[in-house]
Homo-oligomer: A and B are copies of this chain.
Amino acid sequence: MKTILINGLVLTMEADWKPAYLDIVINDQRIEKVEQLSDDERKQYINQGYQCVDMANKVVMPGFVNTHGHAAMTLLRSYADDLPLQQWLEDKIWPFEAKLTADDIYWGTKLAIIEMLETGTTCFTDMYFEMEQVAKAVEEMGIRACLSRGMIGVAPNRDIALSESEQFISQWNQAAEGRITCTLGPHAPYTCPPDYLKKVVELANKLDVPIQIHVSETEKEVNDCKEMYGASPVKHLENIGLFSRPTIAAHCVHLDDNDIDIMHKHNVTISHNPSSNLKLASGIAPLKKYIDKGLTVGIGTDGCSSNNNLDMLEELKLASLIHKGNTYDPTLIPARKALEMATIEGAKALFLDEVIGSIAPGKQADIIAFSLDKSLYYPSFDITSLLVYSANSRDISDVFIAGKQIMKNRRLEFNKQEIFQQVQDRAQNIAKEIAATK
């Protein structure tokens, strides 16, 4: 499909970006040109069969990149909140997850994708199980995703998880016309012993994929690791050789200066997940230090049990606000930086910045548009400030992924009611089964 997007106010997220009226030429999956076209040029494109989409009065930017989550955890939304961590995990989350079937994962992921598309996310990251179902949902619904089968090195199925991961990656990496990329997903240093993590690194080398892993989410985890291995989780992972692979470290709430140096040395990237870190009472990450050091930081929503939505706009506002208040520095994470973290920095965090994350010739056409004709966008002095500090994700009107328009004036071509009902019924049945065994 060939398309020109005209008359939009474009935030490219390329270096030194400034909001500017630019036209975007899309050829099949990719962006061909980004510049103001003359009337004649526009006509030529239209004569060549390009469809013309008018973005007048809309703000156009790259789609959001969600750098950490567990999509099918939508099934657990509002099932358990406001509980102490262990009680929440042991009494609620784990028993529920133990009952999830492949079909449940399929429908839960579809629900997540509906929500992500409607809130402007064009690429999401997932670490869960029954990943073929996730890949199937991604393929069907047109979104982009970076997928990994979560692996628990202390679980009975530890070796199966490795071989399933390999099989999954062989089948799905670069599938769905390149929209799916895969990584290996060892859960965390405290659930994967060193010998297991070494096998993961070997396999990552063999398959040539990055690794994503939860790192230093809680203080307890850091202290336990120090006690067990005499090193912080970051140092421990370096010792094991994990960082010889491109690595995405989720959370990183509790890194010390030495950890930060190690992260920098190996270009380990971070998914910052502020809602989840607050809701689970993990703490507030020292983001200023990460940014000052030049680490790459993307933004993630985490799963719907610890957030409880997948709204990247809420997440980037929170990321922008919380570190100001926590460090008494109102200049920290300015609006501009927050938008970058949710787009180009997120793409970098996933090692996909040559493919997505900004609006530039050669990149995939993953593009969203905002329609800002609501009270909360007046007066308009600074569009960047409005998007970060005032905006509501419902004003995202259009979503393009790999050049295809998936959402048009907020309309998606999916049977949403079927998905809602499937998820409601399945989740309720699981809850009933659990209640019956108590």
- List chain A positions with a Cβ less than 8 A from chain B: 74-75, 77-79, 81-85, 88, 111, 114-115, 118, 219, 275, 277-284, 304, 307-311, 314, 317-318, 321-322, 324-332, 334-335, 373-376, 378-383, 385-386, 389-390, 392-394, 416, 419-420, 423-424, 426-428, 431
Contacts and interface: CB of A to CB of B under 8 A. Distances in A.
With a 10 A CB-CB cut-off, give which of A375, A383, A419, A427 has the most chain B CB atoms. A375
Contacts of A275: 321
B381 A431 contact: yes
Given A81-B335, A82-B334, A375-B416, 19 more contacts: A75-B379, A77-B379, A78-B381, A81-B334, A82-B331, A83-B330, A84-B330, A111-B378, A118-B374, A278-B324, A278-B325, A279-B330, A280-B324, A284-B325, A308-B386, A309-B376, A309-B389, A373-B420, A379-B428
30 contacts: A74-B375, A75-B379, A77-B386, A81-B335, A81-B382, A81-B389, A82-B385, A83-B331, A84-B331, A115-B375, A118-B375, A278-B321, A278-B325, A279-B389, A281-B328, A281-B332, A283-B325, A284-B326, A308-B385, A309-B392, A310-B376, A311-B392, A314-B314, A318-B318, A322-B322, A373-B420, A375-B420, A378-B423, A379-B424, A381-B427
A328 B283 contact: yes
A96 to B, nearest CB: 10
Given A308-B385, A375-B118, A424-B379, A281 B325 contact: yes
B331 A390 contact: no
A347 to B, nearest CB: 23
With a 10 A CB-CB cut-off, give which of A88, A326, A334 has the most chain B CB atoms. A326
Contacts of A79: 379, 381-382
With a 10 A CB-CB cut-off, give which of A304, A311, A331 has the most chain B CB atoms. A331
Given A83-B331, A330-B85, A77 B118 contact: no
Contacts of A392: 309, 311, 392-394
A338 to B, nearest CB: 10
Contacts of A114: 375
With a 10 A CB-CB cut-off, give which of A275, A376, A392, A427 has the most chain B CB atoms. A376
A325 B253 CA distance: 11
Contacts of A278: 321-322, 324-326
A320 B331 CA distance: 24
A379 to B, nearest CB: 4
B330 A88 contact: yes
A317 to B, nearest CB: 8
Given A375-B111, A380-B424, A392-B393, A82 B335 contact: yes
Contacts of A324: 278-281
